[in-house]
Structure 1
Amino acid sequence: MNLHQFRFIQEAARRNLNLTETAKALYTSQPGISKAILELEEELGIDIFVRHGKRLKRITEPGQRVLQAVDVILREVANLKRIGEEYSKQDSGTLVIATTHTQARYLLPGPLVALRKRHPKVVVTLLEAAPPQVAQMLLEDRADVGLATEALAGTEGLLSLPCYEWQHMLVMPADHPLAATERLTLEQIAREPVVSYSAAYAGRTRIDQAFALKGLSPQVVLEATDADVIKTYVRHGMGLGIVPEITVKDDPACAAGGDLVVRPMGQFFGRNTTRIAFKRSAYLRSFVYTFAELVSERMNRSLIEKLMAGQAEHYEL
C-alpha cells in the first residue's frame, strides 16, 4: 500500500465515487485510479467499495473504517510537511535558550547581537533558571540549547561541549583592610564575612570543598544568584564577595581606580567550565549552529554535528 492509493480512495469518497472527477482532481487517469484501488483492496483482503460493473456504487462497512484510518494517515502526512516547511526555513524561526542569569547577563549579549545581524528573522527567547532546570528544559523540548556550568555534563539524554573556562574572583571594597594584600590565604578569607552564590550556582560546590579540605568554614552571610547583587552588598560592607571571573572582567568598578578590588581565586577553588548542551535527539537548525559558534570560538558546525552523531562526547578544552 502507498500514499497514492490512500489519496485515490479519499478523493473518490469526496467526489461521490465519481472516478472521472477524481482523476481530474488528482491530475491522473481513471484507469490508473481504478487499478490502484483494486490493488489496495486485494492487499487488505476486503472490498472498500461496492461496484456495479466498473462504477463505484457505495462504500462498504469495512471501507468506512479504512477511510477513517486513511483520513488520519493523510492528516499526519500533512502535519509532517508543515513541520518540514517550518524547519527548512533555516533563516527564520525561534531560538529558545535556557541558561543561568550569569550567562544571560554577561556572556550572551555580544553573541545575540551578532546573531541578530546574521539572522534578523530569528526571534530569541531567554529562559533563566538554575542549572538542573536548564537541563530539564532541554529534555522536555522547551529549549533548543542550554548554557550552564553545572548539571549539563552529567544529565542522561543531553550532549554537551565545553565553551570556556573561568575561575572565581574575590571582590572587596577598595578601602577594605585586605585590599592591599596581593596574595590572600583561605585562612584570611575564612575570618571575614562572605557574600556568594547559592549552592546550585556558579561553582559554589568547589568553594565549599576548598574550605573543607583546609578544615575551614566560610562565614557566608548572604547568598544570591546574581553577581550584580553580590557586588552591591559588598559595596555596603556586608562582606567579601566571591563571583565568576566573567562578572568582573569588563566592570569599570573593578578596574584600576574603581571602588572595588578583585583578586583571582583559581589557586584555591580551581577552574570551572561552562558548557553548551543539546538534547541528544534534537534537530538543529542552521541558526542554532551560528549561535553556538558565536558563543565560543572553539565551537564550529562540524564539531557539533560530530557531537550529535555520538563522535565527540569526550571532547574537552
Structure 2
Amino acid sequence: MNLHQFRFVQEAVRRNLNLTETAKALFTSQPGISKAILELEDELGVDIFARHGKRLRRVTEPGAEVLKSIEVIMREVGNLKRIGEEFSKQDAGTLSIATTHTQARYFLPEPVSQLRKRFPKVNISLHQGAPAQVAQMVIEEVADIGIATEALAEHSELISLPCYEWQHAVVMPAGHPLAQLERITLEDLAQQPLVSYHPSFSGRTRVDQAFAARRLKPNIVLEAIDADVIKTYVRLGMGIGVLAEIAVRDDPPNGDLVSRPVGHLFGPNVTRVAFKRGAYLRNFVYAFAEMLSDRLNRGLITRAMSGDAADTGHDYQL
C-alpha cells in the first residue's frame, strides 16, 4: 500500500464517489484511480466501497474504518511536510486564512499587518467564504486557521477557541427618525424595512430569534453577505441596516450614516478561531493567533490541540 492509494480513496469520498471528478482534481486518469483502489482493497482484504458495475455507490462499514485510518495517516504526512518547511525555512512560508468578508475587511487588517512586520518572509493567503465554507477549508487543510462567528464549533474535526465578543448595531441615514432615539426597541425596528446579513452570517440567527421571542416579524427587504453592501443599500434608502458593530466602528461621526448599538436587543456574539484537530502548527501560526486576541496564547492553543483544554467547542463569556 502507498500514499497515492490513500490519497485516491480520500479524494473519491470528497468528490461524492465520482471518479471522473476525482481524476480531474488529482490530475490523473480515472482507470488509474480505479486500479489503485482495487489493489488497496485486495491488499487489505476488505471492500472499501460498495459498487454497482464500475461505479462506486457507498462506503462500506469496514471502508469507514479504513477511511478513519487514512485521515490520520494523511494528516500526519501533512504535519511532516510542515515540520520540514518550518525547520528548513525557519520563519518563512505561507499562512492561509479562511474567514468571512466582515472579518477580512474590518478585523484582520491590523493583525495581518503586525504579522508581516514580525515575519517579513511569510506570505498571507486570504480565503473568503460563508462560515460553513470556512470550516470546510480548515478541515481540508486549504487553510491553517479559520475565523468566523458561526459553524466553527459544530465540527468535531476542529478545535475552536473564542477570539473576541461583539454586538450588533443599526445604521441609518443621518436624518432618520430613529437616529433621534436614545434607546431603540425591537418594536421600533419591526416597523422599518431592514437590510441585514444572510441567515448564515454574522449573528443573523440571534436577530431572528430576538424578533421571534417577542412574536414580531421583521420586514427584511434585502439580505447580503457583507457590511459594505448593507451600508450601500441603506444609503439608497432601502431600509435600516442591521450589522456587526465592527463594521461601523471607524465610520466618521459626521458622515451621511449614523449608527446605534443594539446589543441590548440581540445579545452578544463570539467570533472564534479554529484549527484542524491534530494538525502541526508552525511558529508563525501561533504568533498570528496571539495577535488576534490577548485571550489566545501558544500554551492555551497547545493544550486545546492536545485535548487538555476545558472548553474548546462552546461559547462562553470573554
Report the TM-score, using the length of structure 2 for normalisation: 0.72
Alignment match, 2:286: 289
2:193 is equivalent to residue 188 of structure 1: no
Structure 2, unpaired ranges of 5+: 1-77
Alpha-carbon displacement from aligned partner over 1:171-205 (angstroms, at most 9, x marks no partner): 11110111111111111110110000001000000
Alignment match, 1:116: 116
Alignment match, 2:46: none
What CA distance in whole angstroms lies between the structure 2 residues aligned with 1:280 and 1:213? Answer: 36
Alignment match, 1:227: 227
2:286 is equivalent to residue 273 of structure 1: no
Cα 1:82–1:95 change in 2 (3 A) is: closer
Alignment match, 2:255: 258
Kindly report which structure 2 residues correspond to 1:87-126, keeping only aligned pairs within 5 A, or say none: 87-88=86-87, 89-126=89-126
Kindly report which structure 2 residues correspond to 1:33-182, keeping only aligned pairs within 5 A, or say none: 84-88=83-87, 89-182=89-182
Which secondary structure does the structure 1 equivalent of 2:250 belong to?
A: coil
Q: Is the 8 A contact 1:139 1:279 kept in 2?
A: yes
Which stretches of structure 1, 4 residues or longer, exceed 6 Å deviation after superposition? 79-82
Alpha-carbon displacement from aligned partner over 1:19-43 (angstroms, at most 9, x marks no partner): xxxxxxxxxxxxxxxxxxxxxxxxx
Q: CA RMSD in A?
A: 1.6
What CA distance in whole angstroms lies between the structure 1 residues aligned with 2:81 and 2:218? Answer: 57
Q: Is the 8 A contact 1:159 1:313 kept in 2?
A: no
Q: Is the 8 A contact 1:293 1:300 kept in 2?
A: yes
Q: Is the 8 A contact 1:97 1:144 kept in 2?
A: yes
Cα 1:123–1:192 change in 2 (3 A) is: same
Give the CA deviation at 1:87.
2.9
Q: Is the 8 A contact 1:131 1:150 kept in 2?
A: yes
Which secondary structure does the structure 1 equivalent of 2:153 belong to?
A: coil
Give the CA deviation at 1:90.
3.6
Count of aligned positions: 236
What CA distance in whole angstroms lies between the structure 2 residues aligned with 1:277 and 1:173? Answer: 37
Q: Is the 8 A contact 2:79 2:280 kept in 1?
A: no
What CA distance in whole angstroms lies between the structure 1 residues aligned with 2:192 and 2:232? Answer: 17
Q: Is the 8 A contact 2:79 2:279 kept in 1?
A: no
Structure 1, unpaired ranges of 5+: 1-78
Give the CA deviation at 1:82.
6.4
Q: Is the 8 A contact 2:278 2:306 kept in 1?
A: no
Amino acid at match of 1:184: I
Alignment match, 2:48: none
Q: Is the 8 A contact 2:83 2:282 kept in 1?
A: no
Q: Is the 8 A contact 2:202 2:244 kept in 1?
A: yes
Q: Is the 8 A contact 1:157 1:279 kept in 2?
A: yes
What CA distance in whole angstroms lies between the structure 1 residues aligned with 2:81 and 2:129? Answer: 31
Percentage identity across aligned positions? 61
What CA distance in whole angstroms lies between the structure 2 residues aligned with 1:137 and 1:268? Answer: 33
Give the CA deviation at 1:280.
0.4
What CA distance in whole angstroms lies between the structure 2 residues aligned with 1:162 and 1:81? Answer: 28
